[in-house]
């Protein structure tokens, strides 16, 4: 299971192998996550900056992946080693935490969970919070062994070549998918053939993930494209969003649903539009013009 409940986290809060990584972040206010962390966080939680730790200075799209080596060094600096149990959290239903979950999993680190419902669910369950920053030591060099390359990632050229032959999934809000608004990227709309699965649909009213059966109903029909089935079905599904962050929420939801691991378009819509690729607007996926 890739989620952990507030109650289960509370039960192991004093486990010396536990590492809680707080990755609260807001696109519209880049300092808000840090301010909220400083005001109140789970005891022992360590702050992780999306813009410097989980994003490279340059690359495809607005939030390119850092090199695995740089990411490994950052995790070591946060005290993460091979024998740790990592819990990642945010305050927005896992929409940001899922990025860190996916990055660790992509490099072969599987002892990682997303706190279901994040900090709000933790507080609602009676979990303690503190404004004191936890003093910790970095993990020893060489004590964390992650992969040398990101797995299950595709780029713009791959997506363009396979457009219309894979299920391309867009995690953005419906109004951005349709092209009604576009607050960040240069052109409104969506990549032709992409189907809309807004990440908000993965969550219930409490901000926690829906049951696996309901999540499976959201995504299962996508995993038969091109005749794929079983363990290979994920190869026919590519998740995208604006810049490769929120797409990880749909990847996490599919994992909770028991579906095969799919692919991530790293640069997503921001990378696609920066290269003047064709776009579609409206409710329908559209057809491939390539």
- What is the predicted pLDDT for the residue at 102? 98
Angle in degrees, CA 271, 91, 134, rounded to 5: 110
- What is the predicted pLDDT for the residue at 45? 97
Give the DSSP H/E element, type plus range, for residue 169: strand 167-170
- What is the predicted pLDDT for the residue at 29? 87
pLDDT average, residue stretch 124-144: 95
Provide, for the chain, the percentages of residues in helix, strand and coil under a 3-state DSSP scheme, each rounded to the nearest 5: 35, 15, 50
> Is 89 tagged catalytic?
no
- What is the predicted pLDDT for the residue at 83? 97
Q: Which domains does the chain have, with CATH numbers?
A: 3-124 (3.40.250.10), 153-274 (3.40.250.10)
pLDDT digits (tens, 9 = 90+) for 148-201: 999 999 999 999 999 999 999 999 999 999 999 999 999 999 999 999 999 999
Band (234; pLDDT cuts 50, 70, 90): low
In the chain, % of residues over pLDDT 90: 89
Residue 229: pLDDT over 70: no
pLDDT digits (tens, 9 = 90+) for 103-118: 999 999 999 999 999 9
pLDDT average, residue stretch 24-34: 90
pLDDT average, residue stretch 64-85: 98
Q: What are the distances in angstroms from CA 259 to CA 97, 193, 247?
A: 20, 21, 15
Edge to edge, what strands does the sheet with 112-115 contain? 3-4, 112-115, 85-89, 18-22, 46-47
End-to-end Cα spacing for the chain: 39
> Which residues pair with residue 203 across a beta bridge?
209
Residue 52: pLDDT over 80: yes
Band (122; pLDDT cuts 50, 70, 90): very high
Q: CA Rg, the chain, in Å?
A: 19
Band (225; pLDDT cuts 50, 70, 90): very low
- Residue 192: HSE in the Cβ half-sphere, 13 Å Cα cutoff: 16
Q: Which of 22, 1, 13, 17 is nearest to 143 (CA)?
A: 17
Q: Which of 140, 22, 136 is nearest to 81 (CA)?
A: 140
- What is the predicted pLDDT for the residue at 230? 41
Dist CA 103 CA 75 (whole Å): 11
Supply φ then ψ for residue 113, to 5 degrees: -135, 150
Residue 58: pLDDT over 70: yes
User: Which member of 84, 89, 241, 248 is catalytic?
Assistant: 241
Residue 233: pLDDT over 80: no
- What is the predicted pLDDT for the residue at 236? 87
- What is the predicted pLDDT for the residue at 101? 98
pLDDT average, residue stretch 6-25: 97
- Token pair, residue 56, equals 């490279």
Residue 231: pLDDT over 60: no
**Arithmetic mean of pLDDT over the chain:** 94
């Amino acid at each position: 299971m890739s989620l952990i409940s507030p109650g289960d986290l509370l039960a192991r809060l004093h486990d010396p192998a536990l590492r809680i990584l707080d990755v609260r972040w807001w696109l519209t206010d880049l300092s808000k996550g840090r301010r909220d962390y400083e005001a109140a966080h789970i005891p022992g939680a360590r702050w992780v900056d999306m813009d410097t730790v989980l994003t490279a200075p340059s690359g495809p799209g607005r939030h390119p992946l850092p090199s695995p080596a740089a990411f490994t060094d950052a995790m070591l600096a946060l005290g993460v080693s091979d024998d740790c149990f990592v819990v990642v959290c945010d305050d927005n239903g896992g929409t940001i935490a899922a990025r860190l979950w996916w990055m660790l999993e992509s490099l072969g680190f599987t002892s990682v969970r997303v706190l279901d419902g994040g900090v709000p669910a933790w507080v609602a369950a009676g979990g303690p919070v503190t404004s004191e920053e936890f003093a910790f030591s970095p993990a020893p060099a060489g004590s964390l062994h992650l992969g040398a390359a990101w797995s299950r990632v595709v780029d713009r050229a791959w997506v363009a070549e396979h457009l219309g032959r894979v299920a391309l999934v867009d995690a953005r809000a419906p109004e951005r998918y349709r092209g009604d608004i576009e607050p960040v990227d240069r052109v409104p709309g969506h990549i032709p053939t992409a189907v809309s699965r807004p990440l908000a649909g993965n969550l219930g009213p409490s901000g926690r993930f829906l049951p696996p059966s309901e999540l499976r109903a959201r995504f299962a029909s996508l995993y038969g494209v091109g005749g794929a089935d079983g363990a290979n079905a994920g190869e026919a599904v590519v998740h995208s969003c604006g810049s490769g962050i929120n797409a990880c929420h749909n990847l996490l939801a599919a994992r909770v649903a028991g579906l095969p691991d799919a692919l991530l378009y790293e640069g997503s819509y921001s990378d696609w539009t920066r290269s003047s690729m064709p776009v579609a607007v409206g409710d329908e996926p559209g057809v491939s013009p390539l």
